[in-house]
Amino acid sequence: MIRVKLSPDRLRLLASLTFNFVAKAPGLLAAFVILPLISRSLGTSSYGEFLSALALGSAFCLPFGGINAVGRRLLAGAYGAGDRAAQANTFVTTIGLSAAVTLLALLILALSSGRSWTSPVFLFVASLPVISGFLNVFDNLRASYNEHYVTAALQLAFQLAIYGAILIIGLPRGGIALAGLTMQSAYGLASLMTFLLLVIRRPFLLRGRLTAPGSIIGPALGVMMADGAMALLLNLSVYWLSYSHQEDLAAWFGTLVRLFQSFLSPVMLIFFPLTTYISMRWGGMTTQRQRLLHKLFILTGFGYGVIVGGAMALFGPLYVDHMFRLNVRGDRFDVLALSLFLGAIIAQKTYTMLLYAVSEARFVSYGTAVMSSLAIAVAAVLSLRLTPVGVIDTLFIAVGIGVPLVLLVGDARYRRAI
């Protein structure tokens, strides 16, 4: 018999993985019960504009991905080294940068899209993902201590409370603001609570200073150019359909995107705490183990990407047709293009979660940004002859083929360097 030694760090990792999966159950309730309820409450046109507002707000969250990834890596490294001063400075600097980005994003969002909505309440809905993006920084900082199970448990409690109340009370017809709060508030409240619990347990974190923001901004730009480019294209495609006065088709695209986020969750559930644990011990690992982890993550990313892309192509339209009463839906080519793009996002997200936990990963970051820019250029040239949906399909196919090539070349480079 082989006895497995569970150190305190390994126990916390196991708790994070367990609570992450338990906390996912209400998310399925949101996808299969709450979202159809919102659709019926708002009607197809308002529902499409509602999803477009959420998508546009999510597009403004791209800086948070870079700040969170770098801040989490630096804080985990300082924690692993037992350096309290570095922990406090990283904590305060990360939150300060995120707060500044939030204010700027909300200002740009209001000025750029304030007059594009049929009702001002949609601007409020668009601001909710930005606020949630800022609050999510607390989840990442908590995860630096290998304690994401705290956040997951809080998310479970708040989701059950909010979704249960909506199921009992119901949504009023046309309740756009309440629908937005229903989709976003559980995560924000959990983030606020995890922040309070974190500083109560480690009050020294509040004594840090805003020092060397460039140590976060520089590496964060690379993450933004990779993860941000993919998320930006996905969210803006939904908003652009609504902006082009195709709200019904935006409702169809936006619903599939929301379903995709349910498929993306297992990646976050497993690899978010796991990569944090790895980053705390990366420096002490052998070269052989580091190479093995690179190979494992890229194979897992491509394998899961194929599974998700295939599932979206086969079952996504069935889900929308069965659960929603939408007037317009895309054709098979639209489904194929979207599924290819979503599979590429899964592969990229899985592999870069390891890369960003242990390095800056400049080749993959800038390579993804360049490939996305080339795809945008191709789509822009063809936009003179294609419909708005055709432009989106072209963009999705170009990125869905180009980004996996960047990942393969980048993996070969990183493993050779190791």
Q: Are 282 and 80 in contact (CB under 8 A)?
A: no
Question: CB under 8 Å, gap of 24 or more: what pairs does 327-330 form?
Answer: 327/44, 327/248, 328/246, 328/248, 328/249, 328/251, 328/252, 329/252, 330/249, 330/252, 330/253, 330/389
Mean pLDDT in residue range 344-369: 80
CA distance 24 to 300: 20
Read off the pLDDT band of 192 (50, 70, 90).
very high
Read off the pLDDT band of 4 (50, 70, 90).
very low
Say yes or no to pLDDT of 6 above 70.
no
Q: If you average pLDDT over every residue of the chain, what do you get?
A: 81
Please write the tens of the pLDDT for every residue from 373-392: 888 888 878 877 878 788 88
Which pLDDT score, from 0 to 100, does residue 112 have? 86
Tokens read off for 55: 């998508």
pLDDT above 70 covers a percentage of the chain that reads 89
Please write the tens of the pLDDT for every residue from 271-317: 777 777 777 777 778 888 888 888 888 888 888 888 888 888 888 88
- Sequence ranges of the domains in the chain: 8-417
Tokens read off for 306: 């194929």
Mean pLDDT in residue range 342-367: 80
Tokens read off for 327: 């007037």
Which pLDDT score, from 0 to 100, does residue 268 have? 67
Q: pTM surpassing 0.75? A: no
Read off the pLDDT band of 124 (50, 70, 90).
very high
For residue 129, what is the enclosing H or E element?
A: helix 121-143
Say yes or no to pLDDT of 357 above 60.
yes
Which pLDDT score, from 0 to 100, does residue 94 have? 92
Which pLDDT score, from 0 to 100, does residue 66 have? 79
Tokens read off for 102: 């939030």
Read off the pLDDT band of 117 (50, 70, 90).
confident
Please write the tens of the pLDDT for every residue from 52-74: 888 888 878 878 877 887 888 88
Read off the pLDDT band of 126 (50, 70, 90).
very high
Which of 30-34, 344-348, 364-368, 392-396 is the least confident region? 30-34
Give one word for 245, left, alpha or beta, with left for phi > 0 and alpha for psi -120 to 50.
Answer: left
Q: Are 294 and 413 in contact (CB under 8 A)?
A: no
Which pLDDT score, from 0 to 100, does residue 189 have? 92
Which of 43-57, 289-303, 351-365 is the least confident region? 351-365
CA distance 363 to 246: 37
CA distance 268 to 304: 12
Say yes or no to pLDDT of 127 above 90.
yes
CA distance 369 to 372: 5
Which pLDDT score, from 0 to 100, does residue 305 have? 86
Which pLDDT score, from 0 to 100, does residue 10 have? 65
Please write the tens of the pLDDT for every residue from 83-95: 899 899 999 999 9
